[in-house]
Amino acid sequence: MSVNISKVEVFSFENEKITFDHFRGDVLLIVNVASKCGFTKQYQGLQNLQDKYESQGFRVLGFPCNDFGNQEPGELEEIKQFCSISYGANFQLFQKVHGKGKTTEPFTTLNKVIPAGDIEWNFEKFLIDRKGEAIARFKSSVEPESLEMTNAIEKLLH
């Protein structure tokens, strides 16, 4: 099941309310991120994807989440600095969100993407097409630069 997220409201890093309509025309990869997780090394792969495909209209959007093992306890500025220094990651980060329990956007809506259900851990990924349709969901174990992920991204970019 695809879900359109164009009208979903989120809060930017600067705490400004925006909708995903702001990104219409771009292919997006939305990820719940954490700095102290076994999957944290995926920051590098996420940045590599953005570097490789950004000129074609691709963006990675990171949503820090502390719901899974308390692995994102820091403040936003600390998180941004950690990402930049440790992994050279400069993709866009947003305000912290919840991915389970009292889930907040964008995951309240994205959790309807098949397989539907709550996020299970950090670094779950959702691929969004240029029209704002969430069309694919990738579990934490799927590496950003895997063939499965890059094929899905390239299909949407062409």
Task: Go through 99-116 and write b for each residue having 16 or more CB atoms within 10 A of its CB, e for each that does not.
Answer: bbeebbbbbebbbebeee
Q: Determine contact, residues 62/106, Cβ cutoff 8 Å.
A: no
Q: What is the pTM of this model?
A: 0.95
85-124, pLDDT tens digit by residue?
999 999 999 999 998 877 899 999 998 887 888 899 999 9
Which residue of the set 5, 27, 37, 136 is catalytic?
A: 37
pLDDT in tens, 30-75: 999 999 999 999 999 999 999 999 999 999 999 999 999 999 998 9
Confirm whether 37 is a catalytic residue.
yes
Cis (ω within 30 of 0) for the bond into 73?
no
- Topology classification of domain 3-157: Glutaredoxin (3.40.30)
